[in-house]
Amino acid sequence: MSFPSDFMWGGATAANQFEGGYNEGGRGPSIADMQTNGAVDKPRIITRVPDENLYYPNHQASDFYHRYKEDIALMKEMGFKTFRMSISWSRIFPTGEEEKPNEEGLKFYDDVFDELNRAGIEPLVTLSHYENPWYLTEKYNGWADRRLVNLFLKFAEVCFTRYRDKVKYWLTFNEINAGMYPFGQYNGLGIFNEGSTDTWNLKDIPQLRFQGLHHQFVASALAVKKGHEINPDFKIGCMVALTANYAYSANPLDQVANQLSWQYCNYYCGDVHVRGEYPGFAKRIWKENGVNLVMEEGDAEILKEGTVDFFAFSYYMSSCISTDETLKKTAGNLFGGVKNPYLKANDWGWQIDPKGLRYTLNELYGRYNIPLMVVENGLGAYDTLENGTVHDDYRIAYLREHIKCMEEALEDGVDLMGYTPWGCIDLVSAGTGEMKKRYGFVYVDFDDFGKGSGDRYRKDSFYWYQKVIRSNGEDL
Ligand code: P53
């Protein structure tokens, strides 16, 4: 079984972690600009104003803003069919509340899309990837406030209209369920990406978190509907973070706990996006979290009319769910996640599990029956630059095994549109703010404090991935 001939091979990035140029071209600050750097054992913090004694890695990021031509040429050399990127909301609306968009910001993305077009690469664009305009967090506490819905819709409409003939594939919210997934300092808060809970005290307030999520669902559905009006050929997807959870044992208690974890972490958001309504178990989740969800009149219809065309997701790892308190906890898993004795983890504790991708693809396709796309996957690892290259056989091994499992899933009958490994050109880590947690086929010469030439170097995986794309996944 081989990959379909129109399979969308490529790579993925996000403006906040890749673009830089944070104060150029009339751009306003985003929530990502207020996050300091951290490490595997040191959470990033968020400051109300930049503190000159602290370092903010997203300001410079990988400097795609100035190097996009060079970067797109590298993607072309690898044979990319598609490139996932995001539009920085605050580059278009610096505070989020302007009447008119910032022309210089719009022009920047015109240039990027034109360059991609010349290279024969189809853009796949995320509208919101952890980068709300900072002003909206300050004034409204972000998505906790319903007024964000119309502000987002205005932004989406401007993008859809302006890039109507340049971009066909869109995603509304990156990892909309990030607040449901307890990873590291994200710990169920959804603070950095959504600003939908108590941003200042880094405290989870479920009422705000679930209400903020609801506002995003409404905004996403309205955007999907508007996008299809603007161009009926648009393909607009959702984006959900997927971790394959397994029951640790055959104990029925573990099995049920695992089922609940899938409902809470994955299906709560996926169901609203794909089916256009909250699943039955949502009521129980609200009750257990003391949430009184406010739905306005007409919301149910909006959700129904704005269902997505495809389901995109990120997949990095799996975890085990156990009800046995004595078992050792895997870092930061609320659901009693425990280490899987059959798996190894990377240096950040993420358990590597290619088979889990096949499992996940089948679960999702079985539930939703719409095209799927793996828009993030990859190995965060320390790389050593030697004589202008990196011998990253560990990364090749990781990606090869995941591609094999996607092939298995195709064999299983799953409709899979494409694959865009994360951070195809090195970028700043969302979780830790480090540069040295690298995912790319291309090495970017910046360290954790943004020092270095910023020059690009092809890693061994660059040539390997080029071969994979050229053979349409045959030659792994
Ligand atoms: P980093 C946690 C778990 C799974 C996905 O993550 C996650 C996170 C957040 O850390 O986020 C996605 O950079 C996200 C990207 C992010 C990527 O995974 O922490 O959509 O922005 O960079 C990898 O290694």
Q: Which tens digit of pLDDT belongs to each residue from 378-413? A: 999 999 999 999 999 999 999 999 999 999 999 999
Do the beta carbons of residue 59 and residue 15 sit within 8 Å?
no
**Which tokens go with 119?**
């290279």
**Would you kindly state where each structural domain of the chain is located, as residue ranges?**
8-356
- CATH architecture, range 8-356: Alpha-Beta Barrel (3.20)
Paired strand residues for 8: 418
Choosing from 122, 131, 175, 194, the catalytic residue is 175
What is the mean predicted confidence (pLDDT) over 21-44?
93
pLDDT value of position 329: 55
What is the mean predicted confidence (pLDDT) over 318-341?
72
Q: Is 316 in the pocket of ligand 1 (CB under 6 A)?
A: yes
CA-to-CA dists, residue 88 to 91, 102, 105, 142, 436, angstroms: 5, 12, 9, 16, 23
What is the mean predicted confidence (pLDDT) over 139-150?
93
Q: In whole angstroms, give the CA distance from residue 205 to residue 130.
A: 19
When mean pLDDT is compared across 40-49, 124-133, 228-237, 391-400, the lowest value belongs to 40-49
pLDDT value of position 439: 98
Q: Is 177 in the pocket of ligand 1 (CB under 6 A)?
A: no
pLDDT band at 332 (very low <50, low <70, confident <90, very high): very low
Nearest alpha carbon to residue 447 among 439, 457, 430, 435: 435
Choosing from 122, 376, 408, 434, the catalytic residue is 376
**Which tokens go with 184?**
């590291």
Q: Is 426 in the pocket of ligand 1 (CB under 6 A)?
A: no
Residue 97 designated active-site: no
CA of 100 relative to ligand 1 center, distance in Å: 32
Residue 276 above 50 pLDDT?
yes
pLDDT band at 241 (very low <50, low <70, confident <90, very high): very high
CA of 176 relative to ligand 1 center, distance in Å: 12
Residue nearest to atom 17 of ligand 1 (CA): 430
CA of 94 relative to ligand 1 center, distance in Å: 25
Residue 376 designated active-site: yes
Ligand 1, atom nearest to 432 Cα: 19
Q: Is 314 in the pocket of ligand 1 (CB under 6 A)?
A: yes
Residue 194 above 70 pLDDT?
no
**Four-residue CA torsion sign, 99, 103, 104, 109:** positive
Q: In whole angstroms, give the CA distance from residue 459 to residue 356.
A: 27
pLDDT value of position 192: 57
Q: In whole angstroms, give the CA distance from residue 229 to residue 223.
A: 10
Q: Is 301 exposed, middle or buried (0-12, 13-18, 19+ CB in 10 A)?
A: exposed
Q: What is the ipTM of this complex?
A: 0.97
Q: In whole angstroms, give the CA distance from residue 20 to residue 450.
A: 11
The preferred substitution site among 13, 130, 265, 316 for testing ligand 1, maximizing ligand atoms within 8 Å of CB, is: 316
